[in-house]
């Protein structure tokens, strides 16, 4: 292990990635239900999901690159890459969950 990295620090990244996967599935499901007219989503949702992804992934790449150039451990680099994606997915999940099922 590099520079005293504890295994629990690697598990933390694994948990964060697991949460990303779980919440992303929920967001995808709500957006699909919205496209079918079942879930209440704004008309701008399709374009929003594309622009948010581009921003979150590029921010994650930049943050990971900065951490790598600073000589950080692999777990810090991975955490820097996942953090903006996780934040955006968490915000989307909260926002779409509050909207709920579409009422007539």
The answer to whether the predicted template modeling score (pTM) of the entire model surpasses 0.85 is no
Average pLDDT over residues 57-70: 97
Residues forming beta bridges with residue 101, ordered by sequence position: 39
Q: Which residues contact 72 (CB under 8 A, 6 or more apart)?
A: 80
User: Is the distance from CB of 75 to CB of 11 less than 8 angstroms?
Assistant: no
The rounded distance, in Å, linking the Cα atoms of 82 and 16 is 8
pLDDT at 61: 97
pLDDT beyond 90 at 57: yes
Q: Tell me the percentage of the chain whose pLDDT exceeds 90.
A: 72
Fill in the DSSP letter of residue 44. Answer: T
Question: What pLDDT score does 104 carry?
Answer: 67
Secondary structure (3-state) at 1: coil
**pLDDT given at position 46:** 87
């Amino acid at each position: 292990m590099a520079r005293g990295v504890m295994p629990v620090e690697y598990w933390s990244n694994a948990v964060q990635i697991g949460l990303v996967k779980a919440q992303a599935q929920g967001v995808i499901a709500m957006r699909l239900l919205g496209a079918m007219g079942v879930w209440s989503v704004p008309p701008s949702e399709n374009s929003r999901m594309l622009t948010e992804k581009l921003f979150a992934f590029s921010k994650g790449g930049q943050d990971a690159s900065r951490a790598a150039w600073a000589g950080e451990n692999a777990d810090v680099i991975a955490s820097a890459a996942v953090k903006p994606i996780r934040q955006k997915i968490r915000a989307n999940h909260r926002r779409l969950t509050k909207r709920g099922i579409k009422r007539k």
